[in-house]
Amino acid sequence: MLLEARGLHIAFGGVIAVDEVSFTVKAGEILGMVGANGSGKTTCLNMLTRLIAPGRGAMMLDGQDYTALAPDRLVALGISRTFQNLRLFKDLSVAENVALGVQAGMQAKGTPRRERAIWARVHELLDMGGIRVHAGVLPASLPYGTQRVVEIARALASSPRLVFLDEPFAGMSSDEARMLSKLLLDVRESSGMALVIVDHNVEVLVSVAERLIALAEGRVIAEGAAAAVLSDPAVVRSYVGTDV
Ligand SMILES: Nc1ncnc2c1ncn2[C@@H]1O[C@H](COP(=O)(O)OP(=O)(O)OP(=O)(O)O)[C@@H](O)[C@H]1O
Ligand SMILES: [Mg+2]
């Protein structure tokens, strides 16, 4: 098993945000994570990427317990992520933003720093994302969906084994979402990396994810094939009264 989350649990000031969440991800698998607003999806990702420490529980990558790993060791372990709100460097060009991801990956693997290798990899990623024409511009000058692709290219740049994407399809037009789905499937095909994708755009999500996990009030309420999870009464109920 590539990733194993075991009984992850955290409370903020008495409010239980994530409640005994356990799930697994196989190498090369794409897992979709759904749930109404506030159900604990981002908090799960924050624990699994060592941004916050779980109150209880453990996480393993390839059998290695990384529950207490220093966050800056995560890239070396083979995990990267994107954020629900874009976190691109505003004063750096698209290519420079992606180059930072490439450098982080090389540094983590102890590869000697070679400019030519860095830029070759940057261009490969920009081509893959269909954003090479934007290489020299500042991210803010691009449409939101394109900026998201830049952030995803940066997350993929370190050649991770597992990438967590927090609402990659949010704010995208249907054309942009279709292109991003294809990019994610292509990347999985060529690199074999596994993806955990949180998104409210269920239609697009199920077009890429093999399996879904549904959260409500911090708990896993359903898991399995998309159709079964989405028609599960507990899942349907968890969305009642929400605008999603
Ligand atoms: N740092 C924090 N301090 C206090 N409460 C928090 C913190 N982070 C998250 N929460 C609470 O934990 C719960 C889960 O939030 P989380 O952001 O994980 O939900 P989500 O499923 O990602 O929602 P959305 O779909 O809106 O992004 C919410 O009640 C939220 O208010
Ligand atoms: Mg969230």
Q: What is the pLDDT of residues 188-240, one digit of tens each?
A: 998 899 999 999 999 999 999 999 999 999 999 999 999 999 999 999 999 88
Which residue's alpha carbon is at the smallest distance from atom 29 of ligand 1? 38
Residue 144 is assigned to a structural domain of this protein: yes
Residue 244 is assigned to a structural domain of this protein: no
Q: Is the pTM of this model over 0.85?
A: yes
The rounded Å distance from CA 125 to ligand 2 centre is 26
The CATH number of whichever domain residue 59 belongs to comes to: 3.40.50.300
Position 242 pLDDT exceeds 80: no
Pocket around ligand 1 at a 6 A CB cut-off = 12, 15, 17, 35, 37-43, 84
The rounded Å distance from CA 147 to ligand 2 centre is 18
CB–CB of 161/78 below 8 Å? yes
| Lowest mean pLDDT across 7-11, 67-71, 105-109, 130-134 | 105-109
Residue 163 is assigned to a structural domain of this protein: yes
Q: Which has the closest alpha carbon to 161: 83, 66, 44?
A: 66
Residue 190 is assigned to a structural domain of this protein: yes
* Euclidean distance between CA atoms 83 and 101, whole angstroms: 14
* Parent domain of 79: 3-239
Residue 128 is assigned to a structural domain of this protein: yes
The rounded Å distance from CA 218 to ligand 1 centre is 9
Q: How many domains does the chain have?
A: 1
Residue 153 is assigned to a structural domain of this protein: yes
Q: Which has the closest alpha carbon to 219: 1, 21, 13?
A: 21
48-62: buried (b, 16+ CB within 10 Å) or exposed (e) per residue? bbbebebeebebbbe
Mean pLDDT over 153-164 rounds to: 93
The rounded Å distance from CA 70 to ligand 1 centre is 23
Residue 177 is assigned to a structural domain of this protein: yes
- 97-153 pLDDT, tens digit per residue, is 999 999 988 988 888 888 899 999 999 999 989 999 999 999 999 998 899 999 999
Mean pLDDT over 156-161 rounds to: 91
Q: Which ligand 1 atom sits closest to the C-alpha of 39?
A: 21
Q: What are phi and psi of 30, to 5 degrees?
A: -110, 115
- Which 3 state secondary structure label does DSSP give 18? strand
